[in-house]
Amino acid sequence: MKLIAGLIIVLVVAAGIIGPQALYVIDETQVAVVTRFGEPVNQRKNPGLYVKTPFVERVTYLDKRLLIFDAPPESLITKDKKRLIIDIYARGRIVNPLRFVETLRTESRAQARAIDIIGSELRREIGLDNQSEIIRDNREEIMNRVRDAAFPQLAEFGIEIVDVRLKRADFPGEIANSVYERMKAERKRIADRERSAGAKADLEKRATVDRTAVEITSEAQRDADIIRGCGEAESIAIFAAALELDPEFYTFQRSLETYRVNLANNTMIVGSAQDLGQIFEDVRQSMADAARAPAGAGLVAVGEEELLDTRCLGIQAETAARQVLAGDLNTEPRAMILESTEQVDWPDTSLGCPKEGENYAQVITPGFRMAFSFEGETYAVNTDTNGSQVVHCVVP
């Protein structure tokens, strides 16, 4: 019994010492290479628990995921003898662990070797293209050529290169400032050209607006003068009609208005009561003379419907016609030019533009036929006398 117990103790101690030397585990992200006295003899790519010869064989673990080979920035000469600072990186994986351990041993040495190979191919490819082509057009093509050239060289070390990418391609510091200044000068030239075009457009717009404002003001002043003249003519006609009804009362009324205006508060008159009466008589007589119609002048009889000047009657109609036509053409009322105005007695309320299917009162409707021009086209607009009814007709 003592012998068996001792044997068990010896076996347990031996397992504790020899076990870690005889067993090894491979993770899902790893591959393993077993070396015997430094020479690779076996490789394991699948995860799991494996056995090796204790004290004779060793296990080297390698990462089977993608490796990043990041090269430091390097100053390279292009085909047109210009320098660029190129910064690239590559991605690859270990596909032949035995070959990798035989040639490179460690991942750090693989990193240095891969960077040397990729850098050498990059210098050769950069020398085949001009600086502007590298920066602007051929980046993708250059990186693909570097990858294809480096692929067979790295395959000799058990590495499969997957991709090569350019992180940046910059000008060297000593010429960067001149490049930036040239870029600034170009942008300034473009900005000055845009500003000049904007200033020209601004002047053209202002000149157009100023001219339009003058035209609108002139036309408004003209219409105001016409309306004022028409009003004064109508006022004179009303006064003349009132004088015709009762000349003495009209003279008396006008003289009272004159007294009220001229004999205002704080008005001092030097003289006797007889002198004041004479003043009143002189004023009354002056008003009577002023109200008397000139020889040969005719008066408009009360109740007689005579039309005044066509322009006086048509000013309101023209304004209304402009508003309607401007709404139809989606423009400003003053943008249209009045070509002609004709006074017409329309036979019914359709104003010469009947719509199919509608009935109109058969009543003589005095009004106007107007023609406006806008952007080379002529438009006809018919109205009644005061512009309360407006229709936009098509010129036949």
DSSP letter string, 339-368? EEEEEEEESSTTTT-PPTT-------EEEE
* Cβ atoms of 20 and 4 closer than 8 Å: no
Residue 286 near residue 254 (C-beta atoms within 8 A) = no
Helices (H), 246-396: 247-262, 273-291, 310-329
- CA separation, residue 297 to residues 21, 247, 292, 303, 343 (Å): 143, 16, 10, 19, 26
pTM beyond 0.75: the answer is no
Residue type, 250: Y
Q: How confident is the model at residue 189 (pLDDT cuts 50, 70, 90)?
A: very high
- Percent of the chain having pLDDT more than 70? 76
- Retrieve residue 77's tokens: 């000469």
Burial of 40 (0-12, 13-18, 19+ CB in 10 A): middle
The pLDDT confidence band at residue 306, using thresholds 50, 70 and 90, is: very low
Architecture of domain 67-175: 2-Layer Sandwich (3.30)
Mean confidence (pLDDT) of the chain? 78
Task: Looking at 156-172, list the stretches that DSSP marks H as alpha helix, in order from N- to C-terminal side.
Answer: none
Beta bridge partner(s), residue 40? 35
**Residue 235 C-alpha from the chain's centroid:** 57
**What single letter denotes the amino acid at residue 354?**
P
Lowest average pLDDT, out of 4-8, 18-22, 45-49, 173-177, goes to: 4-8
Q: What is the pLDDT of residues 281-304, one digit of tens each?
A: 666 566 556 555 454 444 444 333
Domain ranges of the chain: 2-63, 67-175, 219-291, 310-393
pLDDT by residue (tens digit) across 217-262?
887 787 788 778 777 777 777 777 776 776 666 666 666 666 666 6
Q: Rounded CA gap, 162 and 151, in Å? A: 8
Both structure tokens of 168: 């940046």
The pair of structure tokens assigned to 40 is 């690779």
pLDDT surpasses 80 at 123: yes
Which residue in 250, 304, 69 sits closest to 164, CA to CA?
69
